[in-house]
Amino acid sequence: MKTTSLSLCAIFALANAAIAAEPITLKLWPDGPPTVMVPKSDATVKLIQSYGGAGPNRITDVSDPTITVFRPEKPNGTSVIVAPGGGFMFLSYAHEGTQVCEWLNSLSVTAVLLKYRTPTRDEKEMFELPVQDAQRALGLVRHHAAEWNLDPKRVGLLGFSAGANLAGHAAWDRGDRTFPQKSDLDDPRGPDFLVFIYGGGFLDKDDKSKLRAGFSIPADAPPIFFLVAHDDKSNPIEAAMLYLEYKKRELSAELHICAKGGHGFGMRKDGKPINDWPQRCAEWMKSLGYLGAN
């Protein structure tokens, strides 16, 4: 009888562990987002269709944003919010989202997949509402830090393409970026560290040798890991210029520009050195103490 009882206890313990490992999805705005999205234009609809439209790995028409928390078996206290790209038209949800979360979990990092509002190409600033969602996500993660066994001072933000753009704004913008409805979950402080993968949007529209008007890297900008391919249009210029701004301010930064890779490779593998970026990023995180025990 004792053996049977112990076996049942073990089964229940395993079952509870499996349940605990299931991802948690939370609405960012349970009462609805504070800012109403502009309806997408016919031009935006056609643009989305030109990319193949929506599908299981390409999500669009997100008006009720969420975060999904992927918890590792033994969390080390570090968390990373993952922002997929998609040109503010859609979210590349697999190779720039769920697969990234799986990799982060393998490092004992808690991954938080951000499903931000999209499309926002018809807004005055395409990044504004997604940044609002990212700041809310940062607040939610820090609010639940004790519950999820996290360090509220080790919350990173990793973005691809448009997701990197919103991550940059969340990390670098200063001034009065506040919410129409304030609460203790609104967190304009930004991430504690940043992973900026083939991002853009911070250069002058007409002169790519200059940063956009009114933008600068602040003196308290968080440590950053830049990754981009040389054959990715203007994004390598942007990464290099942003890196130099970090260097001028003597801020912590690491820059990787690989010869080939193009744009949008995410976690895909096609035999290029740039596909090893997760290993380089993990080495960077470890060097800064983000992979140590909580």
pLDDT of 226 over the 80 cut: yes
Query: What is the average per-residue pLDDT within 272-294?
Result: 93
Q: Which residue has the higher pLDDT, 22 or 16?
A: 22
- pLDDT (tens digit, 9 = 90+) per residue, 163-182? 999 999 999 997 655 545 55
How does DSSP assign 152-210, residue by residue?
Answer: TT-EEEEEETHHHHHHHHHHH--S----SS--TT--TT--SEEEEES----B-SS-TTS
Q: Which domain holds residue 116?
A: 24-287
pLDDT of 14 over the 60 cut: no
- Which pLDDT band holds residue 189 (cuts at 50, 70, 90)? confident
Domain membership flag for residue 210: yes
Q: Measured in whole angstroms, how far is the alpha carbon of residue 3 from the centre of its chain?
A: 47
* Total domain count, the chain: 1
Domain membership flag for residue 292: no
Q: What are phi and psi of 109, to 5 degrees?
A: -95, 135
- pLDDT (tens digit, 9 = 90+) per residue, 118-166? 999 999 999 999 999 999 999 999 999 999 999 999 999 999 999 999 9
CATH number of the domain that residue 143 is part of: 3.40.50.1820
Domain membership flag for residue 14: no
Q: What is the three-state SS of 26-84? A: EECCCCCCCCCCCCCCHHHHHHHHHCCCCECCEECCECCCEEEEECCCCCCCCEEEEEC
Domain membership flag for residue 11: no
Domain membership flag for residue 220: yes
Q: How high is the pLDDT of residue 57?
A: 87
Q: Which residue has the higher pLDDT, 20 or 84?
A: 84
Q: How high is the pLDDT of residue 21?
A: 67
Q: How high is the pLDDT of residue 56?
A: 79
